[in-house]
Structure 1
Amino acid sequence: MTETQHQGVMAMVKIDGSKARQLREQKSLTQLYVATAVQVTTDTISRWENRRYPTIKRENALKLAEALEVALEEILETPPVPEPNDDEAESQQDSVNFQHEKERRTETVKQGVYVRWPILLLSSTIAALICLVGWVYFNMEDSPSVAVTAKRNLPAHCTPGQVFPVSIEVNVQSDEPLAFIVKEQLPDGFEAIQAAPALSSSGKKVNTLKWLQKGHGKHIFTYTTIMKDTTIEADEFSGGIAINKQSGASYSILGSDTIIVSDYHWADSNRDRVISDSEILTVYDQYGEVEVHGIDLDLIEEIWLGSGYTWNPDTQTYQILP
């Protein structure tokens, strides 16, 4: 292992960039995926792989190894092989002499024996074909099948300046846990407040959300957002899922994607200014156990217990009717 650490200085390690690139390509991983996992830029990954930065922080090397699904030692630079001493040199020379003698005897045998090369060539070809068919069959049987679906649950409407929730349900059907990235793009004029689980990273703008997860089966991602641009009348959300086993493949997030600006509460799905039994049950099913800022379950329950509500534009609040 090639590792350097001095007192008061961050631990550094020397990585083998070409080996890291080879492992990434063998696993069909993109530089974008690895960069997101390590939380650096794709340009940094490219510089590492091209040995522009052979020495990097140990914590980044550990993240890189985890993204490549290998141990740290597998991407470290191999120390140079020491020059052999006199005994080793003599042993190597003996090995060379033995190899030369073996080749000489083999050549003698070839000269004295009639080789039926057409039959041998045919036999070798048949054997190679059998191996090829077996390899293809084996890999087809063992290759994990992957099916990904993603659905967004978005309220039909929202009120400017009022926080509302959005949830994304992702189902990854595979034979083994897989790493995947969920990316959600909010429309201009909307700003994310909080998310559960916590965001792996966010873009330069507050309306780009990213989660990096590993697993299979059902996953729920929830976030709250607010519309700050009061001139918008309607807008669209968009997003997608990327899987590491399918380099370059992207699955769109389906379901609701358009929201209308109005003065109705987001939980009032039929816009009759009343929170019905069905509507409050839907809210609790979707967000009752989610701890993110902005889902005001107490207010929704008060509206449900009352006879309805109105929106007061002066105070920017909902008024509950007795």
Structure 2
Amino acid sequence: MSDFIFFTTTIIKCILVLAVFAALPGFATFLERKALARIHRRVGPDMVGPSGVLQIVPDMIKLFTKEDITPYLANSKVFKFAPLISTICVFMAFAAVPLFPEFKLFGYVIKPIIADVNIAVLYIAGCSSICTYAIFLGGMASYNKYALLGGARALVSIISYESISGLCLLAIVLLTGSMSLVDVNNYQHGGILSWLVFKQPIAFVLFTIAIFIETNRTPLCLAENDPELVAGYGTEYSGLRWGMFFIGEYASMMLGAILINLLFLGGYNDFYFIPGAIAMFLKVCLIFSGYFWARGAFPHLRADQVMRTCYLILLPLACINLIVTALLAL
């Protein structure tokens, strides 16, 4: 493949990733509201379009036309830049994620990954870590005590649970011998019994819990607290700046669902008679729906419960799992 074709295909991949994962959050909100309505025996959106499917249109109009306010005493530069960090870092992480198996188009082999780097796991962990600072910077720059408390509370919880997800990723790297997500996927090509969820069940559970924390999802989210009448770190944000946080959060949820599938559930390998691309899509949709189910089914935990669970239960389990995995790998 010539340098021109490689450069062109890479640019097209970047545009497609940005277009798809920036547009999906709007539709995901509709699905979440319908799912929560069904769980709580409510109606949900039903008046705009068939079954309310066009509800996202007035929502987007309201979002784009809402006045963008910057608090008078806020640090305006940091306040305006924080939402961009949240979104940019998530889309940067998608660069090292394989979305589907490779295929041929016009005689050329197309790999549905922007950059197959051999340190993909480390790269994605670094990008997701930077996202956490967007939350804290947004709350700190708002000159609002509720936003500051929400940002600090979220930062502490995310950093704590990142240690758990990091230990789980180390166990996967020790087992597969590679940091490339393509290699991790290929390691599970031998059928359902070769899926890492059966070899690393503890890491699967711990990593899933950590993903809920890192994507600010109920019931483990500390960025917004139910007893408060404010929106945590985003209390002072409105309009498109709030929308950037919103897009970053839902893009992080999609990234988390894809990572869980690639790391533990066979990735884009064929599943019996189901082709790999379709199997990948179905499994990611199933994982993504788990976010909605958990939000509708479980109560919001207190901050002390979340942190106590992290340091007294989950972190020791992650360390023991890593030590056992290392001994078995030797």
Q: TM-score, normalised by structure 2?
A: 0.19
Could you say which structure has the larger radius of gyration?
1
Bigger relative contact order (CA 8 A; separation at least 6): 2
Q: Which has the higher helix share?
A: 2
